[in-house]
């Protein structure tokens, strides 16, 4: 029962650019959109400052105010927060031990961008399995903007 996440080319470029701009720190942000069957469709990418400034090389934390504002904004609409993204400076785009510890709540999709020496290299999507014991990679589809 693996899902798919669809991202427009333009949204992909936002993540790529913010991941490179944040280097050597991790970037982060939220993904708003909707879920049709197993297909997660991203409608908007909302970049956030990484608020763990002193540990930003291998940690990230989305600004809670941005999260709250987005939830308020989406209230009553068909869209919801379907996931978030962050980058791994000089590490592969696979969830770390820390990521697994942070995997709580209803946020479903984790996009991880790998940045090598300041250059974006790859973006992968992961989903927590039902028992929250591990991440599973899911398909990432880039659609024309
Ligand atoms: Zn991570």
What are the pLDDT digits (tens) for 119-130? 999 999 999 877
What are the pLDDT digits (tens) for 56-72? 889 999 999 999 999 99
Residue 80 phi, psi (nearest 5): -145, 170
Q: Top-level CATH class of 4-143? A: alpha beta
How many A from CA of 88 to the centre of ligand 1?
A: 6
DSSP string, 11-70: HHHHHHHHHHHHTTSPPEEEEEEEEETTEEEEEEEEEE-BS-GGGTTT---B-HHHHHHH
Which residues neighbour ligand 1 (ion) by CB within 5 Å?
96, 99
**Nearest alpha carbon to residue 17 among 47, 44, 40:** 47
How many A from CA of 29 to the centre of ligand 1?
A: 12
- What is the rounded end-to-end Cα distance, in angstroms, of the chain? 27
Report the pLDDT value the prediction gives residue 80, as an integer from 0 to 100.
95
pTM: 0.93
In the chain, domain spans? 4-143
Task: Identify any residues that bridge with 88 across adjacent strands, giving them in sequence order.
Answer: 114
């Amino acid at each position: 029962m693996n899902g798919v996440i669809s991202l427009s080319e333009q949204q992909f470029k936002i993540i790529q650019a913010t991941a490179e701009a944040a280097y050597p720190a991790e970037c982060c942000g939220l993904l708003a959109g909707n879920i049709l069957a197993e297909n997660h469709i991203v409608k908007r990418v909302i970049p956030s400052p990484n608020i763990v400034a002193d540990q930003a090389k291998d940690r990230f934390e989305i600004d809670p105010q941005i999260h709250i504002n987005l939830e308020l904004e989406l209230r009553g609409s068909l869209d919801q927060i379907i996931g978030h993204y962050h980058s791994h400076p000089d590490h592969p785009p696979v969830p770390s031990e820390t990521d697994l510890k942070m995997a709580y709540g209803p946020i479903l999709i984790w996009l991880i961008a790998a940045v090598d020496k300041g250059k974006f290299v790859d973006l992968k999507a992961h989903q927590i399995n039902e028992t929250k014991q591990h991440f599973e990679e899911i398909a990432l589809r880039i659609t024309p903007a």
